[in-house]
């Protein structure tokens, strides 16, 4: 159990060129602006520093990579072990040929879209509609407005827990809707993406269109974390005798989820597949709210909603997860 893992101290860890911080306040920096700390936060100086750390770090110490925490709940009891936050050494965006970009895991999705537009590379505009960074997009095959990460990915590069560099072609990752088949311990460090030749003004116009649509339909000015649950699979909808194009927000709306609150957490009135922190929500409020929506939808239709929001840290033993 996560709660049984002893706290790690800096003296338990190998020397690095980057920076260690004990009891780092992760929750305060996440998009929900709530939650606990990391036992140790490690910001590697660069790829070599991270590799050296992984090779030397005792294997019994949990290691958890994070991005900008755009779609993550940091549980109130904190995250055990070492949390790795990718910084400037992982943000480079480099053009490899006319339509191919190599993008670091810590590069913001929006920056990937803007850079591709400036270079006249079309096809990556959808990244402007996804909060977060490229590493997270690779981990969950993020998508928006009809395009998924796998549609433009040529190769992903990641490190395993032992610090070995793995090059994986798109087919190797077995990507599907909001899912990557990469090992659970994979730490993505960069991806190679291929678009197509385009004209910068048209590409920028598409990005502006996506940004305007997000502003109209999503609570982007609130303390939120992006889509809470993935849309159900067609076979799940068929088994529930529901329309094949039914979206998860409609399932939540159907069971009274729009505007529903648990403590300081609320399902957005604007888009009820988004949770928001109204100002004083705990991480547990957010997780309990999500589980209540899962329970209601399951009771109503038999469909088990799948979390898109990542939940990290020691669970509160006083609360039981309603559905797995």
> DSSP letter string over 199-216?
-HHHHHHHHHHHHHHHHH
Looking at the domain that runs over 2-88, which CATH code has it been given? 3.30.43.10
The rounded distance, in Å, linking the Cα atoms of 214 and 50 is 35
Looking at the domain that runs over 89-203, which CATH code has it been given? 3.30.465.10
Q: Is 211 exposed, middle or buried (0-12, 13-18, 19+ CB in 10 A)?
A: middle
Q: How many residues does the chain have?
A: 324
**Residues of the chain scoring pLDDT < 70:** 1-4, 317-324
Q: Which residues are catalytic?
A: 178, 227, 308
| Phi/psi of residue 110, nearest 5 degrees | -60, -40
The rounded distance, in Å, linking the Cα atoms of 277 and 279 is 5
What's residue 318's pLDDT? 53
What's residue 321's pLDDT? 47
- Residue 222 contacts by C-beta under 8 Å, 6 or more apart in sequence? 268, 274, 276, 277
Q: Domain ranges in the chain? A: 2-88, 89-203, 219-312
Q: Is 79 exposed, middle or buried (0-12, 13-18, 19+ CB in 10 A)?
A: buried
Strand partners, 266: 261, 276
What's residue 319's pLDDT? 54
* SS3 category, 241: coil
The rounded distance, in Å, linking the Cα atoms of 140 and 148 is 10
The CA dihedral of 287, 291, 292, 296, to the nearest 10 degrees, is 160
136: number of Cβ within 10 Å? 26
- What are the angstrom distances between the C-alpha of 10 and each of 206, 222, 225? 47, 35, 30
219-312 classified as CATH 3.90.78.10: yes
């Amino acid at each position: 159990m996560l709660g049984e893992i002893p706290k790690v101290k800096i003296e338990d860890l190998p020397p690095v060129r980057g920076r260690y911080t004990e009891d780092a306040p992760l929750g305060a920096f996440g998009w929900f602006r709530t939650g606990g700390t990391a036992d140790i936060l490690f910001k590697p100086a660069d790829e070599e520093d991270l590799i050296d750390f992984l090779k030397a770090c005792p294997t019994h110490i949990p290691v958890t990579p994070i991005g900008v925490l755009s779609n993550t709940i940091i549980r109130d009891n904190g995250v055990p072990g070492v949390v790795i936050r990718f910084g400037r050494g992982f943000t480079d965006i480099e053009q490899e040929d006319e339509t191919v970009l190599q993008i670091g895991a810590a590069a913001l999705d929006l920056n990937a879209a803007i850079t591709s537009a400036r270079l006249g590379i079309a096809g990556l505009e959808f990244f402007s509609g996804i909060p977060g960074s490229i590493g997270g997009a690779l981990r969950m095959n993020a998508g928006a407005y009809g395009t998924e990460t796998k549609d433009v990915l040529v190769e992903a590069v990641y490190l395993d827990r032992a610090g070995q560099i793995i090059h994986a072609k798109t087919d190797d990752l077995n990507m599907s809707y909001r899912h990557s088949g990469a090992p659970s311990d994979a730490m993505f460090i960069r991806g190679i993406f291929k678009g197509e030749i385009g004209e910068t003004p048209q590409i920028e116009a598409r990005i502006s269109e996506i940004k305007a649509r997000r502003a109209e339909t999503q609570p982007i000015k609130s303390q939120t974390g992006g889509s809470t649950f993935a849309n159900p699979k067609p076979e799940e909808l068929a088994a529930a005798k529901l329309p094949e194009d039914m979206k998860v927000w409609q399932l939540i709306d159907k069971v009274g989820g729009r505007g529903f609150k648990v403590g300081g957490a609320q399902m957005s009135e604007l888009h009820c597949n988004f949770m928001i922190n109204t100002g004083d929500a705990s991480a547990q409020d957010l997780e309990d709210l999500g589980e209540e929506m899962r329970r209601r939808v399951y009771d109503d239709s038999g469909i088990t909603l799948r979390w898109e929001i990542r939940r990290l840290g020691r669970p509160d033993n006083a609360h039981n997860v309603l559905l797995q």
